[in-house]
Every structure is written in C-alpha cells, then in structure tokens.
Structure 1
Amino acid sequence: MIFQSTITNDQTAELPSARFDGHIIVVDREEQIEAAYSDLASHRIIGFDTETRPSFKAGVTNKVSLLQLSTPTRCYLIRLCRTKLHSLLLKILSSPDIIKIGADVAGDIRSLHVLRHFKERGFVDLQQIASSWGIEEKSLRKMSAIVLGKRVSKAQRLSNWEASTLTPQQQMYAATDAWVCIEIYNKLMSVEPLQPIPTYLSEQEREQAQRQCKEQKERTKPRRRHRGRKRENREKQE
C-alpha cells in the first residue's frame, strides 16, 4: 500500500468525520488520577495531546489547560487547570515502556514543562515519522485524511479549555485528537515504510518500538503461511 503524499483542503472536507466512540472520562479531581493511571499503565501504546486556552493578545501565552491520554477504548481528559501535573502522570510521561503517540509532541512537552519538569521518554511524533511512508503533510487533520480516509474536525480548537464545564463538543474534539493518533500509528505500522523511520527515542525506546512494530506485522501475517512453515520444519526434522 502506498499513501498519497498530499491532500487538498477540499478533498479533506469531503471525507467522513473521525469520531472517538469509546468512553470519555473527564478528570478534574486528584482522587481520580490513580484509577486513570492504573488503566493507562496497562497499555503499551496510548494517544497523547494537550489543549491550551487561546490567547488573543500579542505575546501572551496561557498555560496548558488539558492533557489527553487515550487507549483504544477510553480517553482521559485531565484538566490540568483544576489538578496539578500529578506524579502518577509523570510516571506515564517518563516511561519508555508506554509509547505515547502524538503530533507536534515537542510543542506539547514544552507546554507541560512550564507546569512541572520531567524527563520525557517513549514519545513518537507522527509529524516526524510520516515522511517515511512518503507523506508530506504535517497537520493531524491531513495525516488522518491520508492514512485513515477520515477528517478530524478542528471546530473546537480555539474554544475556552478552562471553562467551568467542558461541553460535549469539546470533549469529543479532545478525545478524538488523542485517539486518532493511535489509529494513524497502527495503520502506518501495518505498512512497510519507504525509508527508515526517524525518531528521537533513546536506543532502548527505539528497540521497544521496533519490537512492537514486528509484533504488529506478525499478527497481520496469514495463518496459512504460518502453518505451512511449521509443517515444513516438521518435514525437515523427519
């Protein structure tokens, strides 16, 4: 399979919407974080994103308001404007064993460092690796359109992420942004890249990601070939 390198805004607009249909959990109290951590830490790959209340004044940047961490079926919307960047969250962000998939990861991490310093490990940036499959687009919206054939809505991007209550539209937008990163990553990893995959992972993290990619490929191999190989080995032994 070969992905197209670019896609126009008009072509993207014609595609069906990508929507997270799992369970969205809004975390706005510290006592909720332990349960979120237990779930997230049990997954090897999760989606990652942040949201910040927009500033319409030149030179003024607000602190990050929301951290989104998603599994394939549950997305946690952690309201950092209400809770601190908890040590359990730092364990996830610093773990090389939990691969966090995002887009413009460096920008999100810089925003989180303003709240609390940590050593980031185990991150994969879709903007950095998409070119290995010949994809030139960098926006999450267009990468989703090319890889998944689905359009990610950006209607809520400039909404107030520090509002007293997040609207259903905000929740769906935020959850979809994190979840769709997993979907794009898994789809890419099921296709042989055209060139080596660039990454700023450490050697240990890079080996972990490569193992996961290999396991993904093994799962997609036809069982008939696998059985044939076993039969071939038995015949050699005889």
Structure 2
Amino acid sequence: MPEAVPAGAPGAPELPPYPGITLRDVRVVSTPAQAEEARADLLASDAIGFDTESKPTFLKGEKSTGPHLIQLATDRIAYLFPVGAHPARDVLKAILESEQTIKVGFGLSDDVKRLHAKLEIQAARVLDLSVALRTPGQRNDLGAKTAVAKFFGQKLQKSKKISTTNWATPRLNEKQILYAADDAHVALRIYRHWIAQGGKIPPFKAPKPPRQHRPGKRRPESTLAPASAPAPAPADDQAGEH
C-alpha cells in the first residue's frame, strides 16, 4: 500500500480553500467609542488572535517604521487598529499587556519587538503557535498555511501581492482588510482546535523590563564611573596584567 502524502505536501491532492472571515465580522477601529467597545469585547475573551502588519521596506538598510496595523480577534469578530497619527494606544496597551488574556498568532517575535519600540507596549502572555505546534523532533517552525492544512484540511490563501501593499495607508481596501483580519482570526481558530485535541500551553516567560532611554550618544559603560565616586587611581604595579 503506498504511503499517504501529507496534506499540503507536493504531490498531495489539491485542498479546498479556507473560507476565511467575512467583511461583516470585521471592525476597523477609527473612533474612541469603537476602541472602547473593542477593548471590552477582547478582554472578555480568555484568548484572542494577534498579528500586525507593517509597510514593506524595499531599500537596503531601510528600517521599518511599523507596525502600521494591529489585528486582534475574538472567536466572532476581528478588530483592526490602524497605527496612524492618533493610535488607540491606551486601549491597545490595556489589551496586549493584560495578564488574563492569551494572545495567539504565528511568527510573533518581530511583532512584539516593533510594538515595544514604536508604542512602548510590552505584550504579555503571548503564545507563538509557530513554535507551540511543533511536534517532538521538529526543528522548523510551523506556519499558518501548514497549520490550516493540518487541522482543517484546507488551503489558506496568502497573497504575496497583498502582503506587500502599503499598510500605512489611512484607508485600507477590502482585500487588505480581509487579509489582515484572517491572519489574526485563523490563529485563534487553530489554537482552539489544538487545545481541543489536547494541546498543552507552555509556561509563559515574564516580560523583560524595558530599557531606559538615555539621550545623546552613549559611551561604552566600561569607560564610565559613577558620578559620586572618584576615579580610581592608576595601579602602576599591575599595568601589565590582564
């Protein structure tokens, strides 16, 4: 009997498309009232889907100014928070730093770093499914497309063209909205399925305290002495020791 080909692998039968979330179940947060409504809904959940999008960079050495969009999803609704001139920072901080709500997504390392760098938000209880879903002995991280094929037997459509569009635009088009909403919502669906099958949540690491910003160019710490302490006298008899 021939060996079965894993779903999604080369040579496997074409999978049916993952249907994804619909526009009626997506909210683009643009007012304080909408932000507060989103906060209440998201914090009422034990777990939420989480992802971010950033305007792509094309020049060598160019640094990203993202994230430009933050996506958070409950089981029913996906909320998109544009990070423009007036982001709902207090609301986002309350949600993402909550110790009661787990934030699940794929490949979240850069998302978390950029959030802290741009908005000084230290996301807590973040579960990166790329790592959590790895089977014993598996070294490579598991992506969302592979996870959808594995758990749902469907093909997640991930358009490179849409992923590299301008996420900093003040008005997202329909394709951008659905793409971004799906990223967060599908992560939560996969998490629920995984938990139902007996998946175990690993211990969460305590958030690292933020580094204190010091204005101006810093000299190497080894050349600095405490301001209140006198500089040590040179030890001539030990000058040649290391």
TM-score (norm 1): 0.73
C-alpha distance 95-129 of structure 1, shift in aligned 2 (>3 A): same
Secondary structure of 1:67's match? strand
Pair 1:168 & 2:152 matched: no
What one-letter code is carried by the residue in structure 2 that aligns with 1:176? D
Task: Quote the RMSD (CA, aligned, Å).
Answer: 2.5
Secondary structure of 2:95's match? helix
Q: What residue in structure 1 maps to residue 82 of structure 2?
A: 79
* Ranges in structure 1 where 5+ consecutive residues have no aligned partner: 203-238
Aligned length: 197
Match of 2:59 among 40, 51, 57: 57
What one-letter code is carried by the residue in structure 2 that aligns with 1:157? S
Q: What residue in structure 1 maps to residue 164 of structure 2?
A: 158
For residues 1-238 of structure 1, the aligned pairs below 5 Å read 7-8=8-9, 11=12, 14-21=15-22, 23-60=25-62, 61-132=64-135, 138-155=142-159, 156-193=162-199, 198-202=202-206
Residue 84 of structure 1, CA deviation = 2.3
C-alpha distance 198-48 of structure 1, shift in aligned 2 (>3 A): same
Residue 133 of structure 1, CA deviation = 7.3
What one-letter code is carried by the residue in structure 2 that aligns with 1:147? F
C-alpha distance 82-10 of structure 1, shift in aligned 2 (>3 A): farther
Percent identical among aligned pairs is 27
C-alpha distance 83-18 of structure 1, shift in aligned 2 (>3 A): farther
The answer to whether the 8 Å contact 1:51/1:161 transfers is: yes
C-alpha distance 127-26 of structure 1, shift in aligned 2 (>3 A): same
**Structure (1/2) with the larger helix percentage:** 1
Q: Greater Rg, structure 1 or structure 2?
A: 2
Q: Deviations over 1:172-192 (max 9, x none)?
A: 111111000111111111113
C-alpha distance 65-6 of structure 1, shift in aligned 2 (>3 A): same
C-alpha distance 133-186 of structure 1, shift in aligned 2 (>3 A): farther
* Ranges in structure 2 where 5+ consecutive residues have no aligned partner: 207-242
Q: Deviations over 1:116-149 (max 9, x none)?
A: 2233212111011101478755221212211222
Q: What residue in structure 2 maps to residue 228 of structure 1?
A: none
The answer to whether the 8 Å contact 1:152/1:177 transfers is: no
The answer to whether the 8 Å contact 1:46/1:98 transfers is: yes
Residue 6 of structure 1, CA deviation = 7.6
Secondary structure of 1:152's match? coil
Moved more, 138-147 or 10-19: 10-19
Residue 10 of structure 1, CA deviation = 6.5
CA distance in 2, matches of 1:59, 1:28: 32
The answer to whether the 8 Å contact 2:35/2:91 transfers is: yes
Residue 161 of structure 1, CA deviation = 1.0
TM-score (norm 2): 0.72
CA distance in 1, matches of 2:117, 2:11: 37
C-alpha distance 44-157 of structure 1, shift in aligned 2 (>3 A): same
